[in-house]
Structure 1
Amino acid sequence: MSNYSGSSETRKKEELSIQVPATSISSSETQRFAGSDLRFDRLQVPEKELMHDRKFEFGQFVAREAVIDEEYWTAAWLRAESHWEGRNDRYVDNHKRKFAEQEFHAIKRRRTSLHGQKCRCIIMVRKEDKHVKRTVLKGVVGTLDLSVRCLLHGETFPGERVKAPLFCSIHGTGPNRYGYVANLCVAKSARRQGIATNMLHFAIELVKSNGIEHAYVHVHRNNTPAQKLYEKMGFEIVEAASSQLVEEQTYLLCCKA
């Protein structure tokens, strides 16, 4: 999952949108296979002690970039539960654990700029409460990935099938750059509180602050709630991309930042 422009199967896994999971993270269960120095009993870190460029507050929540490993892990677990939501596979718990571990390491790899494609793991966290001791695992209620990419030579939209050299300049500026949203999911405990809408708002503002004019997202054609959310945020279907996405059963949506 480390390559956003990989196979259609990879993209399907990455671009599940608004699949709100029933989050239940067990520290004893996750610690067995994380293979790192994660502290699952770590208390939520006060915002003033964290180093991050920007944040967006609304109600009892704060949207910002993930900073510490426990936040990356929780984002990965949310995505695992989202991916396996509603499935009756007898080994679903094992699948979720494996998915979360792989996604945790993938998130950290994607943070490194590769060929000009910078990626941020955005999270929504509950504001700290001086009367409540809350672990990081319980504080993160939503997540998405926001990457900055460049159109390849000849492309008019991401993924367009054009005859272009395999290796061409993607270190473009201005209209060649675009924002890309993926892996948007929200914890079951935080549904219907505006989490997804406000994370998207924050992501679009980040895109705009980088001087980028457009943001894109793929959404499954049967995912009506996601389509409605994106439409509400100003996204529109890129009709020119629809014919080549029939097999994947997805739409490409675009929003002018």
Structure 2
Amino acid sequence: MELAGTLVPREAVRLPPGIVRVLGRRSKTVALRPRGVVRCSSCPIWENLSTSYQIFKTAEVHCTNSSQSSHQSLPTTSDSSRLPGLTFNQLQLTDRECSGVQKHSFGQFIARGALIDAEYWAAAWLRAEAQYETVSYMRHVDSLKRKYADQEFNAVKRRCSGRDGNSLKCSCIVTVKKEETNVRRTVLNSVVGTLDLSIRQFFPGETFPGELKKYSAVLASHKAYEAHKYAYIANLCVSKFARRRGIASNMLYLATDLVASAGMKQLFVHVDAGNNAAQDLYKKTGFEMVENAPRPAKDPRRLMCMYL
């Protein structure tokens, strides 16, 4: 069978300047940005090439005592739908709005208790950043951070509402940048450090936190006698871009003042046995290692205590 027809030459397609067709196994068109050309956001070409969905944005954090600026990944407002009532672009509280709150001022920062949900979320996000800091190269690490931050936000709110086992009272301490004239920061760009401070009660038979493997559902007594109460620090972390400025030690000083004013005699903290930097920090602020504190064989943490 003979096929009859006419071969029609392929019509040459003229592409706009800056667009190159790459030939190969799969033909595709690539947009090149010539040197010296300013991209116009209204140009249809760039609109098609722009990312339609962005989970994280890069926020510039200006250090008040440094001419350099640093960048860190922060959640966008599109995530706020998962946490009703939480606004990620909420502005930092003014000094007048924080009046009456016990605080510790040092350098360009202030350590105080968290007051609003945005500050609790910023603290949870710092903890997520610290949790995955050593594995930042992992795929989907940003999704893991968001999930961790969501869980920690709900957990810290639950702890601070007094619904956490043997915890009688819990507060989340944050370090924020000082208010400046004609400068308004968002809460996420202001919070640079956090820790949890809780007043707890020993379980029956306990003399140190975490001494028993199995806990009784009944506390040492129905009333919180002073002899059965102690203070405990957890979740201390500082933003990667604000370290070596005394933030951690000054949060510990504030925690010590709060514990002393509450009449506590012991302030405990668990620290990893191999974390020498953390151990040195706690020793510098008055903690000492509890040598006779029992611990499970596979527990890598050591117990430290400050006697007030």
What TM-score do the two structures reach when normalised by structure 2? 0.71
The letter for the 1-side match of 2:292 is: A
Task: Give the alignment of 1:105-254 within 5 angstroms.
Answer: 105-114=154-163, 117-161=168-212, 165-170=216-221, 171-241=223-293, 243-254=294-305
1:31 is the counterpart of 2:79 = yes
The letter for the 1-side match of 2:274 is: N
Cα displacement (A) at 1:212: 0.2
Q: Which structure shows the higher helix fraction?
A: 1
C-alpha separation between the residues in 1 aligned to 2:285 and 2:200?
Answer: 21
What TM-score do the two structures reach when normalised by structure 1? 0.84
Cα displacement (A) at 1:173: 2.1
Aligned-residue identity in percent: 46
Secondary structure of residue in 2 paired with 1:160: coil
Secondary structure of residue in 2 paired with 1:182: strand
Secondary structure of residue in 2 paired with 1:234: coil
1:38–1:52 Cα change, 3 Å: farther
Secondary structure of residue in 2 paired with 1:77: helix
**2:138 matched to which residue of 1?**
89
1:52–1:189 Cα change, 3 Å: farther
**1:53 matched to which residue of 2?**
101
CA contact (8 A) 2:199 2:231 kept: yes
Secondary structure of residue in 1 paired with 2:173: strand
1:93–1:168 Cα change, 3 Å: same
**Superimposed CA distance per residue, residues 34-57 of structure 1 (whole angstroms, 9 cap, x where no aligned partner):** 422222221111021136531111
C-alpha separation between the residues in 2 aligned to 1:249 and 1:46?
Answer: 41
C-alpha separation between the residues in 1 aligned to 2:81 and 2:124?
Answer: 13
Q: Which structure shows the higher strand fraction?
A: 2
**Superimposed CA distance per residue, residues 88-109 of structure 1 (whole angstroms, 9 cap, x where no aligned partner):** 3212111101000111111111
Q: Which moved more, 1:43-52 or 1:218-227?
A: 43-52
CA contact (8 A) 2:173 2:196 kept: yes
CA contact (8 A) 2:203 2:218 kept: no
1:255 is the counterpart of 2:306 = yes
Higher Cα Rg, which structure: 2
Secondary structure of residue in 1 paired with 2:142: helix
